[in-house]
Chains A and B, each alone.
Chain A
Amino acid sequence: MSWLSDLLDPGSLPARSLTRRRDTRLTLLAAAGFAGLLWLLEGWAGGYVVHMTTLAGLFVVLAVSYNLINGVTGQFSLEPNAFVACGAYVTALLTLSPAEKAASFILEPLVWPLSVICLPLPVALLIAGLLTALMAFLMGFPVFRVRGDYLAIVTLGFGEVIRVVANNAQSVTNGPLGLKGITHLTNVWWAWGLCAFTLFVVMRLVNSSYGRALKAVREDEAAAEAMGINAFWHKMLAFTISAFFEGMAGGLLAHLITTISPSLFTFFLTFNLLIIIVVGGLGSTTGAVLAAVLFTFGGEWLRVVEEPLNILGLHIPGIPGMRMVIFSLILVAFMIFARQGLMGRAEFSWRWILASRRGRRGTP
């Protein structure tokens, strides 16, 4: 296995490019390994585990794109529920068959072009992503005129407005009844495929000159402007890209849970994503991945506190809703005691892993 040792130890050979090639190979190797794992999981694990794994993939997409605007660019905003809702509704409306739509829209018929359109999922997803990005682009003009906590409140307001519109625009969204009978099309491959795509784009962006500009805007907007960075357009860039991926993830989410209604896209969704990126470390993309997976499975694991328990004959009744209490305490505790989160602003890197491995072997 000489190629493997070459891979792990580029030795004294010069050049960053070699390290970079090694990193790329290792990443591809890890991705292939992970895909194999998913394949095994899909074949052997129960439907529940597969469902949770799919959901984890979608949460990773959402967390990574939310982190792009909140963590990397430092623009604290609270709107992902609006983008996810937009993506979910657009995709669902495009993929549902005309017959299904006619059956769902009982109070008011669906408006014309939507009532006859029926598109395959990939096309619908792309359209949803682009439309959500367009919405973010238009939203950005008023929103980025303010900063700091005002930005948080205005974006929160937008999220609320979208929900109210979804509740009231009967002839497009079917109001509070929502859309039912969406085909279950999202599987692990869709979710983790989108995840790989998102990670590829976001990582490339963050490590490019644009990414450095985004971080400069986060650290000191005035200084960044003085260096010739147009802060407004860089914020718009991050915002639009994050909306694009959140919209697509919303579309996949709709095809995973098969029923959507406005009550699904409340501030609650944003709150969950906020916990994820805070615990992962605001500004760390790999931290967001780690925390999203932890959150999805940790949330399931925490279900024990909601179920009745018998410990040594002691009966503890389950308390429904206790999970969210614990989650909010975790958020506050992280803010007070570990503001940098699990990863801080650091990123996972192969050099880091290899260095610790070498360190254990005792070679310098």
Chain B
Amino acid sequence: MRCASALVLLATVLAAPGMSRAEQRPLHGFVQAGAAYRLIPPDRCPATQRLACEEEFVLGEGRVGLELSPRGERWALSAKGELIYDGVGDEWEGELREGYLDLGFPALDLRVGRQVITWGVGDLIFINDVFPKDLVAFISGLPLEYLKKGSDAVSATGYWAGTALQLVLIPVFEADTVPEAGGRLSFHDPLADIERRRTDEPSPALENTEAGLRLSRNVLGWDLSLYAYRGFFHAPAAEVEPGPGLRFFFPRLSVYGASAQGAVLGGVLGLEAGYYDSRQDRSGLDPAVENSSVRVLLGYQREVVPDLVLSAQYFVQVMEDHAEYVRTRVAGMPERLLARHVLTLRLTWLLLHQTLRLGLFALASPNEGDFHVNPEIKYSVTDALWVAVGTNLFGGPDRTEFGQFQGNSNLYVVARYAF
């Protein structure tokens, strides 16, 4: 199906050469190659993760991307498709990453189709950004844009007197892409012995349509937003079925939150908070479903010297009904604490007329002990060609969020030629 949509896109592109204009070409694209070498082999590989121990490369692929973006006075079309050759698995795949129509009215912007939606002010910390993500791409060293997945959605944003109200409706559920059994990424699998597994996704039905609301306004230089979301967790929960088998499903979730961002002492201060209402487990007694939680983020970013930006974040997630969680926890499952604290640091240094970027992103939880460190060097060889080299290092206790990915730690190289 994805292959088919890529072919349709290709056909559209080839059929539309007459639209090309030197000034604003509606057709763009790129060729990209990426490889990520596993630095730390997984220490044990259950049957469901055999590939993780066999494959030296976490990533080894080539991509061709095409983007068609014709636009008129009050409308714009955007279609981004990619054809991917996965050299590690020897597979071809086509994917329509985005494909939407924009319509602009005097006080209303409408976007219909597959689109990436990003909310909140966090840097790789997501509270109100509940929209689907591709964790596999992120872990494997692909560029950051692959972390965000498109949603098949309708988005309407109304504007009046400096206030914006966005309504998002997503009738077709799209789950996060997470490491799973049979893949080449290793992860903590408490029920590794169970090989019979199935996934139940919310079916496209009116009552399963995800809905999001965002109200935002700039007040005295501060960007303020309020958010509300009603839908599902995008990362799967798992329960054991008779057989035995493992059933993955997506529990119902509502999120209510707010964010603020503004200039403070020559830098940018960001604040975000959200309440996760785990509607399928309000009592906290269901061990398969994540409990409700409160999440708070505080971030500060500042340019230290010209072209060198430093930013830091503190994030905390406090679980509701922690006592119930502890009481009903199944042996082998992660032992999560009442609160998870996370600190992040990012350094971005632009050199050689901003053609060379030295970057460092580090995330660590001081109380759960897991971390992710990503130094990267990115150089634009020409305006059209860039090369990035970096490492993703994961570590910490095996059952923690990032500690479980230690065996996927990698050294990656990605090069992209764009036209």
Chains A and B are bound partners:
no
Q: Please report B residues at the A interface, Cβ cutoff 8 Å.
A: none
